[in-house]
Amino acid sequence: MTPRLRPDNNLPVFNESGVVLCQNDSVSDIHPICLSRRKSNQKQAKPRAENQFFRMNNLSISEICCLFCCPPCPSKIASKLAFLPPEPTYSLMCDDSGSRWTLHLSERADWQYSARERDAIECFMTRTSRGNRIACMFVRCAPSARYTLLFSHGNAVDLGQMSSFYIGLGSRINCNVFSYDYSGYGASSGKPSEKNLYADVDAAWQALRSRYGIRPENVIVYGQSIGTVPSVDLASRYESAAVILHSPLTSGMRVAFPDTKKTYCFDAFPNIDKIAKVTSPVLLIHGTEDEIIDFSHGLALYERCQRPAEPLWVEGAGHNDVELYGQNYYNNKRW
């Protein structure tokens, strides 16, 4: 059985105070907007499943053989470990003109709003440089918003599952949200891979600029977990208003083998080598007790940044339970 990356499981719900939450079977998590310290008496949630991507020492001999020999290609190995696309929670239907797409959400998408809010979501397909067609979503939460988030989500969700969260996020911080599904996720064609990640985010960036006329200085590049990989790659080549990296990894080898000190030619997702090329301000968010991607990854990336903002290190928080609030985020002096 091929070992898999533990799902992020960031399915959006909301509490009575209107705070955006992310819910899984064992813990309710507040999705990152701005820092708040966890309550000292809150019990650390135990992961539902062992994350083999980040716990290579626990692999059986048969799992290691399957991982590294079928086929013995670094990019294929990375794909096996890092991507866990869910069963699609939405579909896109095109009209007769071929220019307008309609979003249909399944029950698994857990939509939290009315049809009126759904009308604020525009979806379409665009083609990447590698020939895949990826689904894109633009959530116009605030028509007069200055900034638009280019959001790269985690490894085990799709646009359908994230749609409610994007509505809540944009409404709380007066910001529009643009997101996309990686190749092999949701309605996107192809298969997830490292090369496709970079082509996917490039296509999303170009679509955001050409279709909506949004200038780079009004785009905030946001990546979470595996989403920090395309975000750092994009930000290393294009300047934007800012970059936000939530629970980032330095590289695949450094996550799987923590004692790794250098980047090998076969290492996947080398954020640690690309972050120094990012000229935009970078905000790093990381829980000090992250059980999936160790806190040391956030520290290492922070030390390599050209223009680091004051980081948000959340004491006691894990990978999916960083507690943050909304409105104070963009006014924070860290920027």
Q: pLDDT digit string (tens) for 294-323?
A: 999 999 999 999 999 999 998 888 888 875
* Identified catalytic residue from 31, 153, 246, 319: 319
Q: What is the pLDDT of residues 138-175, one digit of tens each?
A: 999 988 899 999 999 999 999 999 999 899 888 888 99
Kindly report the pTM of this predicted structure.
Answer: 0.79
Q: From CA 244, how far away is CA 224, in angstroms rounded?
A: 8
In degrees and rounded to multiples of 5, residue 223 shows phi and psi of -130, 140
Q: From CA 138, how far away is CA 323, in angstroms rounded?
A: 25
DSSP code per residue over 206-231: HHHHHHH---GGGEEEEEEGGGHHHH
Please say if the pLDDT value at position 227 is more than 60.
yes
Q: What is the pLDDT of residues 96-133, one digit of tens each?
A: 777 789 999 999 998 888 888 888 999 999 999 999 99
Give the dihedral of Cα atoms 177, 181, 187, 193; nearest 10 deg.
170
Q: Can you list the domains of the chain with their CATH numbers?
A: 11-314 (3.40.50.1820)
pLDDT of residue 59: 52
Q: What is the pLDDT of residues 273-299, one digit of tens each?
A: 999 999 999 999 999 999 999 999 999
Instruction: State the average pLDDT over residues 5-18.
Output: 40
Q: From CA 272, how far away is CA 89, in angstroms rounded?
A: 33
Q: For strand 101-105 and strand 90-94, is the pairing parallel, antiparallel, or unpaired?
A: antiparallel
Q: What is the pLDDT of residues 50-106, one digit of tens each?
A: 344 444 445 555 555 555 555 555 556 666 778 999 999 999 999 877 778 999 999
Token pair of 275 as six digits: 């972050």
SS3 275: helix
Token pair of 85 as six digits: 């696309």
Q: For strand 121-127 and strand 133-139, is the pairing parallel, antiparallel, or unpaired?
A: antiparallel
In one-letter notation, the amino acid at residue 297 is H
DSSP code per residue over 156-217: T--HHHHHHHHHHHHHHHT-EEEEEPPTTSTT--S---HHHHHHHHHHHHHHHHHHH---GG
In degrees and rounded to multiples of 5, residue 295 shows phi and psi of -55, -30
* Identified catalytic residue from 152, 225, 247, 280: 225
Average pLDDT over the chain, rounded to an integer: 80
Is 286 known to be catalytic? no
pLDDT band at 26 (very low <50, low <70, confident <90, very high): very low
**Residues 6 or more apart whose Cβ sits within 8 Å of residue 210:** none
SS3 51: coil
* Identified catalytic residue from 290, 294, 297, 321: 290
pLDDT band at 249 (very low <50, low <70, confident <90, very high): very high
pLDDT of residue 12: 39
Instruction: State the average pLDDT over residues 231-253.
Output: 95
In degrees and rounded to multiples of 5, residue 20 shows phi and psi of -70, 130
Q: From CA 235, how far away is CA 243, in angstroms rounded?
A: 7
In degrees and rounded to multiples of 5, residue 67 shows phi and psi of -65, -50
Residue 225's region, left for phi above 0, alpha for psi from -120 to 50, else beta, is left
Find out whether 283 and 334 touch, Cβ atoms under 8 Å. yes
SS3 93: strand
